[in-house]
Structure 1
């Protein structure tokens, strides 16, 4: 079967976005496509109420795409018809997308428009959590300044911290600390990130965690501490870091 290649669209400078501070201020092509989607034939037999309901369900996804494209003008047009904190089918708002992609300028604009940074997706992610996972340090600072806090389940945080330690992801551990996370959070076995660092004999990670406020005296469900782990394996250098006798 033969398929013809679609012809390339003619160059039209009017469709090129203008950018100020990395934010696109015009994207006519996006607006034109959006308009076509919202006037699809399958909407013709729907009642006005049904059409409006469908529009409201679609808008958050379009808003997220605007954020990904740095298309602030198109986003402003969409926000005229939806709440700035409206989420898509997974609960992702425009703010979630800005924080996940590290779009500082867009996040600031959304905060200025009244967007919140505490809403959770259906997976339990807040904008701050996404900024932490993607290690967007400047965004973490901005969100904290606007009242964002780490609100995830403590056990889940403990597990995420341990995963970061096992992966030797020092920047991710620092991102959690920068967000004001309690570095002594424990997983379902009561183990902390410091337990994991000692188990892996990672002196540098142990040193970092101690700087971030981790305690070697937190017990797991078997009553063992990170200090006990170090003593058991004769990890003298780590015991020195704990200021404990060898």
Structure 2
């Protein structure tokens, strides 16, 4: 059995999460009784560095008590990362485990704003009813303005339809 210090454990957990290796993540958490929010050498938790498309890794970390609302030095949460990369299933797991979709990053952007800018319509459709559509980012733009700025008529239409139906 490998003996690891605090950073070594956080590094191993983060590396396993980044590779999407759910078995290794589970084993490290159980065998070493490691806190799921242990930091790696870059000051990030496993949830922050995990392979975003690997929903099972997110589930194991969250079931072991990882903080779904952890923010990096730019205020970015795992929900922002999932919205940016378009991984709807991972975003759903985060929300089911208490991730707030209304925590702005340091630029004032919500995960919804990030998904709009990246053009992930399915993520926008999921986030819009859960999000504060009137929230303005650091440039004073709400979700609809972000969609207009992104020159995305599909997003504008989607947001207008969603705001009418709410």
Instruction: Provide the TM-score with structure 2 as the length reference.
Output: 0.73
User: Which whole-Å CA distance do the structure 1 matches of 2:150 and 2:96 have between them?
Assistant: 35
Partner of 1:104: 55
| Cα drift, residue 110 of structure 1 | 1.8
Partner of 2:43: 91
Partner of 1:62: 12
User: Which whole-Å CA distance do the structure 2 matches of 1:142 and 1:159 have between them?
Assistant: 15
CA contact (8 A) 1:144 1:179 kept: no
User: Which whole-Å CA distance do the structure 2 matches of 1:179 and 1:91 have between them?
Assistant: 33
Partner of 1:126: 77
CA contact (8 A) 1:135 1:175 kept: no
| Cα drift, residue 162 of structure 1 | 7.8
Q: What pairs with 1:161-172 in structure 2 (closer than 5 Å)?
A: 161=113, 164-165=116-117, 169-171=119-121
Q: Which has the higher contact order (CA 8 A, sep 6+)?
A: 2
Change (3 A) 1:128 1:200: closer
Q: Secondary structure at the match of 1:152?
A: coil
Unaligned runs of 5+ in 2: none
| Cα drift, residue 63 of structure 1 | 0.8
Partner of 1:116: 67
User: Which whole-Å CA distance do the structure 2 matches of 1:156 and 1:62 have between them?
Assistant: 32
Partner of 2:132: 182
Alpha-carbon deviations, 1:141-179, whole Å to 9, x = none?
1221111102124852169828944x6x14376167258
Q: Secondary structure at the match of 1:101?
A: coil
User: Which whole-Å CA distance do the structure 2 matches of 1:176 and 1:156 have between them?
Assistant: 20
Partner of 2:160: 210
Alpha-carbon deviations, 1:2-33, whole Å to 9, x = none?
xxxxxxxxxxxxxxxxxxxxxxxxxxxxx8xx
Instruction: Provide the TM-score with structure 1 as the length reference.
Output: 0.52
Unaligned runs of 5+ in 1: 1-30, 39-51, 215-246
Change (3 A) 1:211 1:106: same
User: Which whole-Å CA distance do the structure 2 matches of 1:163 and 1:211 have between them?
Assistant: 17
Q: What pairs with 1:23-62 in structure 2 (closer than 5 Å)?
A: 35=2, 55-62=5-12
Q: Secondary structure at the match of 1:209?
A: helix
